[in-house]
Amino acid sequence: MKITVKKIISIIVFLSVIIVLISSTIFIVKHINHHCTDKNCPICIELVNSNSIISNLGNTCAIVFCYLAFVIGYIAYRLFAGFSLSNNTTLISLKVELLN
């Protein structure tokens, strides 16, 4: 079975995104009851960063999903509109004999 370089890279990127998402979630869950010590608390900074990673990933997935839905919808529209517009058949073109 031949695996191309693009497939390997896509698998690596997918796994890294999943690992970042899971590690951010675990960090937030572990430090949910954190008592802040001062203004420049490193744990609070990491909590904010982890939360922004999760929200940005969700926004990116939503944007990609909307784009794909638009592309699929546009392709479906072009296919079905092409079939309906090219179907200009009349009774005369079908050589139907109209009898009374």
Encode pLDDT of 12-28 as tens digits.
988 888 888 888 888 88
- Phi, psi of 99, deg, nearest 5: -115, 145
Domain containing residue 11:
5-62
- Domain total for the chain? 1
Domain-embedded: residue 99: no
Domain-embedded: residue 68: no
Encode pLDDT of 32-88 as tens digits.
887 887 788 888 888 888 888 888 877 777 788 888 889 888 888 877 776 655 556
Domain-embedded: residue 89: no
- Phi, psi of 89, deg, nearest 5: -105, 140
Runs of H (alpha helix) within 31-98: 42-86
